[in-house]
A and B are shown apart, each in its own frame.
Chain A
Amino acid sequence: MNKHKNNKHKNNKHDIDDQLADFTDQILNVKSAKRDDDPFSPDPELRALKQTAQRLKNAFRDDDPSEKVIQRMHKKIAVQLQERVKTEPFWKKWIPSRQGWYSQRSRQQLRLALSLTAVLMLFLISIPQFIGASPDQPAASGQNINLGFMIASGGLLVLLAFLLLRRKQ
């Protein structure tokens, strides 16, 4: 009995879905629906839904922007895009943007350049330690420095390899 009731309720909802969809298709195809044309339906739920759909249609009926508006917006967009290019600071050209002014390729190149610079700087900083190291100095401190250097450069090399691999993908 309950199952039968549920099925009936389901079918009723399904009917309402279809009727509301058909009604919406109808009113959206009519250019100027009058406000007073209250959609008649014996079912109060469907009637209320139809009225809301009709109300929405009526409220926004003059939908499309006019040619004048389209042209005006187009001009403003062109001007703003040009201004953006003109006023963009020079350094911004070198910074990768998530928004995508720059191509993915240039971002990858920049990433590679930064990684290589970091390795080079680390190498230059560590040169004096190698040159200055003498056999008279206690072995332990020299070993510590070298160990730190090895770890840091190892980390950088791993990072570099990771970036290069990503680039190849």
Chain B
Amino acid sequence: MNIFKIVKKNMQQRALATTLTGISVALAVALTVAIVHIKRGMQQRFEQSTLGYEMVVGAKGSPLQLVLNTVFNLDISPGNIPWSFVEKLQADKRVKAAVPFSVGDNYHGFRIVGTTDAFGETFGYRLAEGRWFNCSLDALRDAFKEALEHSHERIAKEKGEEPAKPAAHHHNAAEAVIGATVARATGLRVGQTFIAAHGVEVSPNAEEHTDNPWTVTGILAPTGTAVDRGLYINLDSFYHIEGHEVRDTGKPEEKDNDPDPGQVSAVALKLRSPIHAFPLYWEINDGEEAMAAFPAVEVRKLFAIVGNIDRILLAQAILIGLVAGVAIAVSIYNSMSERRREIAILRALGARRGTIFAIVVWEAVAICAVGAAVGVAGGHLVVAVANVALRQVSGFTVAPLALEAAELWVVAGSIALGALAGIGPAWRAYRTEVAENLAPTS
């Protein structure tokens, strides 16, 4: 027999009140754990995804939209920038690498991203199997030229004119390297082909590019970032698809000698030195052609906004916890009237006042500790369930079994709350008069 067995017996005797107050603690803890876990997990995923992307450049508009579209395969592209601007960036001595991206198609909801063969090396993405596609800048320039010729041919036909005969062009094969999640979800393997659907999201009426199947040449090793959910194709093949024509003003007089036929959705930059970041950033943003954004900064801004929401949710969770603490205090305090005789018996048997005080405090602590343990498990269950929605909204999931250091603080806080809630009733128990309460009350 020991003090904890007495605590356990007391809790069993008041099973209903113990369970109800324990549930309220569990709810508060579950909510807190889920909020902390999801926010921290998502922030980690987002920050992880921005690694290597020092600066992105795209059409003028929302920098957050540009970052979400380029780095996270989310949202829609804010527009295109001319290829000449990309070449200008590539020629800039401050730029170590400039990797262009073009988006516009999907495969089973996973975004297809056209890029060059510098993509993997620049951002350090490793292949789990297979090989990278070929897509040099020369091939890309050639593709732009060919696409423009086709565009002009189509316009001439529409006007009933004799189209100019397109020049012979060398085509790289249409190839793709796919992310780990895409491979797992779609079952695509190296050597298999797939047909893209038009648009960045699944739509029942989306046109399929049945004439242009891509062959999977490689599968990326898992990165835990948005890259896992992308299909990366050689950018030149992107422009061989009908409807992906390069910039076309529609003016026949410009068709022969368009000096700037190409365009891309965005370009990600790696700089030779961090010292160049802000001068280049201001230079681009002061110009009229494009906009620059720092992915890390935009992610921090995004989570600063999200942070306000989760602070409100956390405040609610803490409020629920405080209400639970008060409920425990009231419940045990009220039970003291019924338990005065039991306390007197224990005192008559030799229990010290301090022991009685401790029994009551431990009871409140035990309710909170059990509630907190159930709450932590419940919080992780909420995360597991929320993952379904998170995957749809962001493409990311949070590991439901991973433990956050904050959870220990939540549990410790709950236990402290229990101890605090137990002090009032414990004091009442401490002051119980033995002789007066030994006789049964009718």
A binds B: no
